């Protein structure tokens, strides 16, 4: 039986697991941080769950950042075995790129916007439309065999499922302190506007994070599918 343990692949110092870390500890699961932003390498991942966080780099920067190839190989291996993977922002783009989908520049999004459900099978308990926090300048196409889950207003592809991997372009792991840190270099009037919206939308966003985290953390370590939870394997 594999230990219930989560590896968090962290690509930037200030883009950590956020609320996910709280939920992981609440469940009594072990937490393993992999600080790629410090080491520029990825060790062997032997945990039961894999969480891929955001970062400022592009998944296309393999020449400058060769560890990106390693990370994509690990993602493919995990999905082949049905091991649970959740990717946030850059993490979602890495999942897409791992399966030969393109990742490319798009209209930059910073702040709160709406996403709408395209497929309600995965999270039937969530609203069909809700507000999410965005901070990205690239987007992804949908890999062959994957399913689009949420669509955005300005950037279409906001969440997709590829077997045991779920990629979310938007951020659900945030606290108000994380948002304050992320926008600290923006003009003061923009900061004020984003923080005002954040106080309004964060409670619902954090509820949605809890629902998705519960689904992720309760998944078995093999033969898992986000689309077909009734076919879960065993620990």
| CATH code of the domain in which 92 resides | 3.40.50.880
The pLDDT value recorded for residue 229 is 59
Tell me the percentage of the chain whose pLDDT exceeds 90.
92
The position carrying tokens 């945990």 is: 47
pLDDT per position as a tens digit, 136-190:
999 999 999 999 999 999 999 999 999 999 999 999 999 999 999 999 999 999 9
CA distance 192 to 200: 13
Question: Which residues are registered as beta bridge partners of 112?
Answer: 133
Asked if 132 and 113 count as a contact pair (C-beta separation under 8 A), the reply is yes
- The two tokens of residue 70 are 């390693």
Q: Is the pLDDT of residue 232 over 70?
A: no
Mean pLDDT within 206-230? 92
- Give the structural domain span for 87: 5-231
Asked if 87 and 8 count as a contact pair (C-beta separation under 8 A), the reply is no
What is the count of structural domains for the chain?
1
pTM of the model: 0.95
- The two tokens of residue 5 are 């343990």
User: 234 pLDDT band (50/70/90 cuts)?
Assistant: very low
The pLDDT value recorded for residue 218 is 95
The pLDDT value recorded for residue 20 is 98
The position carrying tokens 């697991």 is: 17
């Amino acid at each position: 039986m594999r230990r219930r343990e989560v590896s968090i692949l962290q690509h930037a110092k200030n883009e950590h697991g956020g609320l996910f870390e709280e939920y992981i500890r609440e469940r009594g699961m072990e937490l393993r941080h992999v600080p790629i932003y410090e080491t520029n390498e990825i060790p062997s991942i032997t945990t039961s769950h894999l969480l891929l966080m955001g970062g400022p780099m592009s998944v296309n920067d393999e020449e400058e950042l060769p560890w990106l190839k390693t990370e994509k190989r690990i993602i493919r291996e995990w999905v082949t075995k049905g091991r649970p993977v959740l990717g946030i922002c850059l993490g979602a783009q890495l999942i897409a790129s791992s399966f030969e989908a393109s990742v490319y520049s798009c209209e930059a999004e910073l702040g709160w916007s709406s996403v709408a459900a395209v497929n309600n099978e995965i999270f039937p308990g969530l609203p069909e439309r809700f507000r999410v926090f965005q901070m990205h300048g690239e987007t992804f196409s949908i890999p062959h065999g994957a399913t689009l889950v949420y669509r955005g207003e300005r950037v279409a592809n906001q969440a997709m499922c590829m077997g045991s991997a779920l990629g979310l372009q938007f951020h659900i792991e945030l606290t108000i302190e994380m948002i304050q840190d992320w926008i600290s270099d923006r003009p003061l009037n923009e900061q004020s506007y984003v923080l005002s919206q954040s106080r309004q939308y964060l409670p619902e966003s954090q509820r949605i994070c809890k629902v998705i985290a519960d689904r992720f953390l309760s998944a078995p370590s093999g033969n898992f599918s986000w689309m077909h939870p009734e076919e879960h394997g065993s620990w």
